[in-house]
Chain A
Amino acid sequence: MNSVVEEVETITILFVDDNPDEFVLMEWLVKGGADQNTELVCVTDIESACKVLEEKNISMILLDNKLHLNDDFRTSVPVLRSKAFTGPIGIVSSSIEPEYFQEFEQYGADFRIGKNELDRNAIGFIIDEFAKKDIKISDD
């Protein structure tokens, strides 16, 4: 058995979804999926998300695609980026089929995933891949 010792850090995830029922599920997924300390902060709209960004040190945002009827991540991600948030943003949606999802990187998002694809393993993978600050680049 090979074991890798990793630095313990707290990953604070901001989850933005207009359906509070999703919070319960996400909390369960994050608790079981992460192998380090995690904190989940849940809000239902972009305005509240922006406030949280001002108050807390957020490691990653999971963003529901359609928070309003006529808006999607193409409007909401730039709003979050305008708050100087430089952490990863992932789009979570019941359907990631629409063609515009293919352009997620251009709008400042880091990944997209279907709600039906989210399980503890997927959350663990997302945290490992995006939220852990393991890429260090020397300046000199």
Chain B
Amino acid sequence: MKHQKPDCLVDLERAINKLDFYRLFKCLCVNYDLDLLALFDMNNWPEEASIESLMVVVNREDSNLVDLDVVSIAENNVIFQNIRDEILHKFWDNKTVCEHISFCGDVSSTVGISIPLHTPNGRHFGFWLALPKSVSDKIDHDQLVYDCKLVFQSFFNQIILPDSMPIISPRELEVIRWSSEGKTSVEIAIILGLSEHTINSYTTKILQKLQVVNRAQMVATAIRMGLIK
């Protein structure tokens, strides 16, 4: 069966930052009437019990009850074992959800779908989707999984991958140059007409790319690499 990109994902090619992707994931939640969509970074689990979420979209009223920034998952959690170790998505009935997804607020009438995501460079991510049983019976699970993977592919290329690639963008180079002049984030923000948040994001990315831990090391490494004179 051939899948088509749904109307709600028309903005997929235009997504630049995390909020753009939040909007796309929210569209999926609304389109399929999901209660919750969470995208997890599975790379350190089960060696570490805590799993960091890269995106959480709650599509129900009691959203304040759900805090999924970091969740602690036992090694024998079958749902997260599926996400970490298997290839195919899996549907989970209410009994299993109640047993293993207690951190998601009220799941008394909820079923779920886990979607493992493995990248070509050996990194592991995964979706947890929670939805009412009545909704699950009506929707096309394969199409939903396809749509989630479609957005993740773009999220990976736009958000995750650039952070891990050692390519310094022209904007990042400007930040290094001004840092080498002793300017703070606020001062650089004023000079470049951007926000401090953006400058700090650039700096964080540069630190990751150059594999250094502070500004001084960043500038020293950039000089050694010939990025700045």
Contact = CB atoms under 8 A, between A and B. Distances in A.
A89 B20 CA distance: 15
Interface size classification for chain A? 35 or more
A90 B195 CA distance: 11
A6 B103 CA distance: 18
Given A138-B215, A139-B214, A140-B216, A111 B63 contact: no
Nearest to A84: B190
Interface string B173-190: 000000000000110011
A139 B18 CA distance: 26
Interface in A26-84: 35, 78, 81-82, 84
Contacts of A138: 213-215
Contacts of B204: 135, 137
A124 B164 CA distance: 27
Interface in A91-140: 102, 105, 108, 110-114, 117, 120-122, 124-126, 129-130, 135, 137-140
Interface string A1-35: 11110000000000000000000000000000001
Interface string B29-56: 0000000000000000000001000000
A4 B69 CA distance: 8
Given A2-B67, A3-B67, A137 B185 contact: yes
Interface string B84-96: 0000000000000
A121 B197 contact: no
Contact of A81 (B19, B22, B69, B193): B193
B214 A89 contact: no
A58 B201 CA distance: 20
Contact of B16 (A82, A88, A105, A130): A105
Given A105-B16, A140-B214, A86 B22 contact: no
A48 B116 CA distance: 50
A110 B197 contact: yes
B59 A121 contact: yes
B23 interface: yes
Given A2-B70, A86-B196, A105-B16, A137 B215 contact: yes
Interface of B: 14, 16-20, 22-23, 26, 50, 57-59, 63-64, 67, 69-72, 102-103, 185-186, 189-190, 193-201, 203-204, 207, 213-216
Given A4-B67, A35-B64, A108-B194, 17 more contacts: A1-B103, A2-B70, A4-B70, A81-B190, A82-B193, A86-B195, A87-B195, A105-B198, A108-B195, A110-B17, A110-B198, A117-B23, A121-B26, A121-B57, A124-B63, A135-B204, A139-B214
24 contacts: A87-B196, A88-B195, A90-B19, A102-B14, A105-B16, A105-B198, A108-B193, A110-B197, A113-B19, A121-B57, A122-B23, A122-B26, A125-B22, A129-B19, A135-B197, A135-B201, A137-B185, A137-B200, A137-B203, A137-B207, A138-B214, A138-B215, A139-B216, A140-B215
